[in-house]
Chain A
Amino acid sequence: MAVRNTNLAFARDEMLEAQLPPTSERGVIKWIRENLFSTPLNAALTLVALYVVYNIVAGFYPWISNSVWVADSQKECRDIVTGMSGEGATGACWALIRARWHQFMFGFYPPTEYWRPILTLSLLFVALAPVLFAGKNKSILILLASTTFLLFVTLLLVDGNISHVVFITLGMIALTALGYLAPVRLYWVTAFYPFLSIFLLWGGSFWAPFGALIGFVVWGVVYNLLQERFEAVVSFTLGLFFAAIWWFGLQGFVTDMLLTGLPLELEFVDSDRFGGFLLALTIGVSAIAASLPVGVLLALGRQSDMPLVKILSVGFIEFVRGVPLITMLFTASLLLQYFLPPRTNFDLILRVIILVTFFSAAYLAEVIRGGLAALPTGQFEAANALGLNYWQAQRLIIMPQALKVSIPGIVSSFIGLFKDTTLVAYVGLMDPLKGVTAIVRADMAWKGIYWEPYIFVGIIFFAFCFGMSRYSLYLENQLKTDHR
């Protein structure tokens, strides 16, 4: 302002335009200088990294760019690649995946029933939506809508039976609408999901899993009725008692009657036809769902004041953590028959799920114990001072905080569990990595193929595990309540 008032001819009366910084201080050049070549050491590292990247790209590019998607055997693939790029050229033969993708996904599951696992997986997302995105109605809606859309497309491509496609899609649209109108009601899907998924995957009578569900309803009703009069532990035990009466006494009779009256049945699919990612997800998801409560109980047991409970929990946790998973799986396939009454023979997948659940629960218990240890003693004391009993205090005060702290650890043990499902190949199940690949390669047409199946399976595993780890970061941010 002062400049303008002086009115001198040699003085500027307006500001100059701001000039651009020097070329070395702006744009790409600045970024490269600061991020890639700031010091001699950094420059050397950059050159080494570029060399590595160049080698990787140069090694893989011809192979990827010569990809063959349609062929009947590996020899045909080779001929096509040779025809395209001359003698000695290499190329990826994705035709194998195209020809055998259904085995990688479903194993030997009957092809006409593929809609069942696909629907089960879609319903898994519906069941998980309210849990994963509690209170985020928009996220729930997006998840449900995209699941419905993907389900529709997949069914059109895979199943082809138009009545299946229409009915299932309409059902999913109804669920999406429910998710839009009353997201909290979706918890019902979550509650029914275990029974529904067993029915869908294995088939057989609808009334068998329904009967199992009724047992849990009996348990819950008895618990609620008695809760007013008795201690929680007592009513819990009595509820279990009545449920057991139903399961082992009445259920078989009632479900048989229902089946004759109302034959709701799907074709029964035996466990040994499960394979590929269907098997990995069945084992992974059930073990993940079952191991969390067991892990919480073990962690509480380890913190308990009761010496016997504490010793048992510590012994179990340390034993399981000290042996490799593969020995546990061998136990499931070789030894469990010794510990059960003679001539009992229950499903290998179920045995594996139980052992994997125990295995994972021990690791989870340690993670949750870390979370419990991170809580200040004041929290326990405050809960006591409010007059909450042990389970109320755990449910309302302790666990929400302890679990929140241990989310990263919990999710990474879930990821570990999911990756470890590949080891079931060693007890004769068809996991996608070793079991299915071995079967595919046993075919003369695809004998010498190595990289493609592993890359395919690896990418799918990566997608699942990376997704889980990203979700855990999201959840950590969502639950962050400290003021930073």
Chain B
Amino acid sequence: MAFTQSAEFQQFKLSQLIYDTRFRSYTIQLFVLIIVLAALYWLLGNVVDNLAAKDKDINFAYLFVRAGYDIDQQLISYTNDSTHLRASIIGLLNTLVLAFAGCVLATIVGLIAGILRLSKNWIVSRLIGVYVEVFRNVPLLLWIIVSLVFFSETRPQPRDFRVTAEMAASGQEPIAKMMFNNSVAITNRSNNIPSVQFTNDLGVIDLGFVSVSVLFLATVFILVASYFTNRFVLRTATKVQWDTGVRPTTWWKSLSIWFLPLGIFFWSMGLYLDYPVLGGFNFKGGLIISQAFMSMLVALTLYTGAFIAEAVRAGILAISRGQTEAAYALGVTPSLTTRLIILPQALRVIIPPLISQYLNLTKNTSLGIAVGYLDLNGTLGGITLNQTGRELECMVLMMSTYLVLSLIISSIMNIYNASVKLKER
């Protein structure tokens, strides 16, 4: 006490700003602030000067001007008469679709590869090891280009699928055949798969910006209702288990809750599959998946899958062998050991790297420009930027969109991480 008081009464010297640890941090922060402000002033001043020199201004009105270019993959309606803003949103949706599909597939590939790499089977673990090392150590761009070349150069042309009358008469086979019982056609122009169609239409709700099909809304509603009903059933079962010690069988209840209402609804709406058919020079009907999307998806899945496989392997290896042994000693069966003891602990290790892989995958979708996939980077940061010449505005919008996207993904995954991580007191 006496020490601090005597220090307080000492006369303040200027040198204390540097030598006294109580004040030094303020001095340093002040300097940093001055430098940062000066740098900002300099940069913004330069921007103003440059804009004046080029006779430009900062103006976002270009977003509401007719875009004038076509986008072949569109989740909401778009024509080349739509605005640049709508084109950018189409691009964003394309980014999201690719990122979502990529994350799901990469997780599946990564999980399987990660577990198989630890397999005691020599040849399988070596094969997976080669896959992981080859994909991890070669640039993603190469895989994207190679998979585009694969789909557009090595797949058969649509006309190779044709069976002419003479060929049918002589029993000659066409050069290429559709896969899965004549339902999937992978050609060098596009990939056609069957699409789900309904004979009855419930109409659409026009929200001004987008029009949503009532059928789609009803499906979502039924799925949400099924989810909550199923959760209620499971919770009741758990409660019964706590009370009586016996868990009632629930699998048939869950199964019927999930599938019966949806099945009845689809049946009443007249669900059928629309198969692609060769007509003219191309396949018609069904769902057409562009080469660009397909090659991006394959490359992103395999590349990110290799990284996820490493994360999964590290996660499983991080669980000490004692855990398995202890479980066996308690008489827990091997499958239950994996489900109740190993996986919950391994997940805690796996999820943080998994989050960063999902983020990487989402950011890597921006490489779609390599194959002409019109995602956010291809529309807003590509064609729109080149047409309007508004680099500053386009780049700011694009970067902030990606930033928000990353923050949303990481916060969702962090919530999930918090829910599975070790609960400590």
A interface residues with partner B (beta carbon < 8 Å): 34-36, 38, 42, 45-46, 49-50, 52-53, 231, 233-234, 305-309, 312, 318-319, 321-327, 330-331, 334-335, 337-342, 415, 419-420, 422-423, 425-426, 433-434, 450-451, 454, 457-458, 461-462, 465-466, 469
Contact = CB atoms under 8 A, between A and B. Distances in A.
29 contacts: A34-B120, A35-B121, A36-B121, A36-B122, A38-B121, A45-B124, A46-B121, A49-B123, A233-B28, A306-B25, A309-B29, A309-B32, A312-B36, A321-B406, A323-B399, A323-B406, A326-B367, A330-B381, A334-B391, A335-B392, A338-B50, A339-B47, A341-B46, A342-B49, A415-B137, A433-B141, A451-B146, A454-B146, A461-B138
B145 interface: yes
B402 A342 contact: no
Main secondary structure of the interface of A (DSSP, over half): helix
A422 B142 contact: yes
B319 interface: no
A306 B49 contact: no
A74 to B, nearest CB: 13
A231 B138 contact: no
Contacts of B51: 338
B141 A334 contact: no
B149 A324 contact: no
Interface in B358-390: 359, 363-364, 366-367, 369-370, 377, 381, 385
A454 B140 CA distance: 12
B200 interface: no
Nearest to A344: B46
A319 B367 CA distance: 19
A422 B144 CA distance: 12
Given A322-B402, A322-B403, A426-B369, 13 more contacts: A34-B120, A45-B119, A45-B124, A306-B28, A309-B32, A322-B407, A325-B363, A327-B366, A338-B46, A342-B46, A423-B141, A457-B142, A466-B137
B96 interface: no
Interface of B: 18-19, 25, 28-29, 32-33, 36, 43, 46-47, 49-51, 53, 116, 119-124, 127, 133-134, 136-142, 145-146, 149, 153, 359, 363-364, 366-367, 369-370, 377, 381, 385, 391-392, 395, 398-399, 402-403, 405-407
A340 B46 contact: yes
A35 B120 contact: yes
Given A45-B119, A434-B145, A454-B146, A319 B43 contact: no
B32 to A, nearest CB: 6
Contact of B18 (A49, A234, A324, A451): A234
B123 A36 contact: yes
Contacts of A34: 120
B403 A319 contact: yes
A338 B392 contact: yes
B403 A458 contact: no
Contacts of A334: 385, 391, 395
A34 B28 CA distance: 66
Contact of A323 (B19, B28, B53, B363): B363
A340 B364 CA distance: 29
A324 B359 CA distance: 10
Given A38-B120, A342-B49, A305 B25 contact: yes
Contacts, number: 151
A53 B367 contact: no
Q: Which of B25, B123, B127, B391 has the most CB of A within 10 A?
A: B123
Given A419-B140, A465-B137, A42 B18 contact: no
Contact of B381 (A327, A339, A423, A462): A327
A319 B404 CA distance: 10
Contacts of B49: 341-342
A327 B402 contact: yes
Contacts of B377: 324, 326-327
Given A323-B403, A423-B141, A462 B29 contact: no
Contacts of A323: 363, 399, 402-403, 406
A324 B127 contact: no
Contacts of B359: 321
A450 B153 CA distance: 9
Cβ-closest 6 pairs across A and B = A465-B137, A322-B406, A324-B363, A322-B403, A35-B122, A324-B366
B19 A231 contact: yes
Given A52-B127, A334-B395, A461-B139, A423 B367 contact: yes
Nearest to B51: A338
Contacts of A454: 142, 145-146, 149
A49 B124 CA distance: 6
A419 B402 CA distance: 21
Given A322-B407, A324-B363, A342 B50 contact: yes
B139 A433 contact: yes
A335 B398 contact: no
A323 B396 CA distance: 11
B313 to A, nearest CB: 13
Contacts of A35: 120-123
B5 to A, nearest CB: 24
Contacts of A36: 121-123
A306 B136 CA distance: 39
Contacts of A318: 407
A33 to B, nearest CB: 11
B28 A422 contact: no
Q: Which of A331, A338, A420, A426 has the most CB of B within 10 A?
A: A338
Nearest to A331: B395
Contacts of A327: 366, 377, 381, 395, 398-399, 402
Contacts of A46: 121, 123-124
Contacts of B116: 45
A234 B122 CA distance: 61
Nearest to A43: B121
Contacts of B122: 35-36
Contacts of B149: 450-451, 454
B37 to A, nearest CB: 11
B408 to A, nearest CB: 10
Contact of B137 (A325, A422, A462): A462
A35 B402 CA distance: 47
Given A49-B123, A327-B402, A426-B369, A231 B18 contact: yes
B124 A422 contact: no
Contacts of A233: 18, 28
A228 to B, nearest CB: 15
A426 B144 CA distance: 14
Given A36-B122, A306-B28, A337-B50, A469 B137 contact: yes
B296 to A, nearest CB: 14
A191 B28 CA distance: 30
A433 B46 contact: no
B316 to A, nearest CB: 17
A338 B47 contact: yes
B142 A342 contact: no
Contacts of B120: 34-35, 38, 42
Contacts of B47: 338-339
A458 B46 contact: no
A422 B139 contact: yes
A145 B215 CA distance: 73
A49 B122 CA distance: 10
Nearest to A308: B29
Nearest to B140: A419
Nearest to B407: A322
Q: Which of B120, B142, B370 has the most CB of A within 10 A?
A: B142
A308 B124 contact: no
Q: Which of B18, B33, B136 has the most CB of A within 10 A?
A: B136
B138 A419 contact: yes
Contacts of B141: 422-423, 425, 433-434
